[in-house]
Amino acid sequence: MPGKTVHDKQRVLMELNPDLREQRAKPGDTIVYEGDVASFFLLVVEGWVALTKSLEDGETQIVDVLMDGDFALITANGATLLPYSAEALDEVRYVAFTQEMINGPQPEAAALRSHLAANIAVTQSRTAELLLRLGHGTAEQRVCYALLELFLRLEAVGKTQEANFSIPMTQKQLGMFTGLSNVHICRTLRRFARNGLVRTRGRTKVEIIDLEAICRIAGVDLEMLRSEIILDESA
């Protein structure tokens, strides 16, 4: 799987399973597997997907965000109420597949499996970092951490220009990610803008102006965070 770009992963996957088709989803769509399985894997080819978990009363937490090339394991559990669900945040191209489809003895299948395992380990690190901010951690820390995580991950897939990038999430969704209300997300972002830490343009465009300050507030060593939450594709 040379280079391990998104395209490589997708190609290997589809060569192993000729019937597999790339699918699409629009913002707000819930991504499901068409078929009766207890769990399935998701490969995001392009776009943003939120992994969410809900309480009965409707409170929803975004547990992780998936971007180009990311895998996730969605456990459907057979129950009516899913423990997880995956929701498209913008226009998404993806491939949904099952465990069996990559269980073969081919070296490509084995490489894919180990790549997938590494990806899941990194997901776990991200979740733990997020958990740390949600437990103790002020609104400022949470928002700065979210900005940094999304920045690093967009950078890893080449979707940043300097410190400029685009986050296709409403403030309500950012709140679902950071455990804050949409109103407080707004306040916090505006305060950062007033203090010259970030600049926002339009609905989704963000520029980090004072990266060092953001890192300090988030309690993050940028290089360390990168090595922890970004999968090293050259490995």
Q: With CB under 8 A, what is the number of residues at the site for its own copies?
A: 40
What is the dihedral sign for C-alpha 60, 63, 69, 75?
Answer: negative
Strand locations in 55-157 (E): 60-66, 71-75, 85-88, 92-97
21 touches its own copies (CB under 8 A): no
Instruction: Determine the Cα–Cα distance for residues 189 and 185; give it in Å rounded to an integer.
Output: 6
**Binder among 63, 112, 156, 206 for its own copies (CB under 8 A):** 63
Positions that interact with DNA (CB under 7 A): 138-140, 170-172, 175, 179-184, 186-187, 189-190, 200, 202-203
Record the tokens describing residue 47, joined without a space: 């776009």
Identify what 55 binds: its own copies, DNA, none; CB under 5 to 8 Å per kind: its own copies
Question: Using CB under 8 A, which of the segments 24-32, 91-99, 130-138, 199-207 binds its own copies?
Answer: 130-138
Distances (CA, A) of 184 to 47, 187, 188, 201: 26, 5, 6, 19
Record the tokens describing residue 66, joined without a space: 């998936």
φ, ψ (nearest 5 deg) of residue 60: -125, 135
104 touches its own copies (CB under 8 A): no
**Binder among 2, 3, 35, 55 for its own copies (CB under 8 A):** 55
Question: Using CB under 8 A, which of the segments 90-98, 148-156, 176-184, 192-200 binds its own copies?
Answer: 176-184
Closest CA to 53 of 45, 44, 43, 63: 63
Q: Which residues bind its own copies (CB under 8 A)?
A: 53-57, 59-61, 63, 73, 75, 77, 79, 81, 83-84, 117, 120-121, 123-125, 127-132, 134-137, 176, 178-179, 219, 221, 224, 227-228
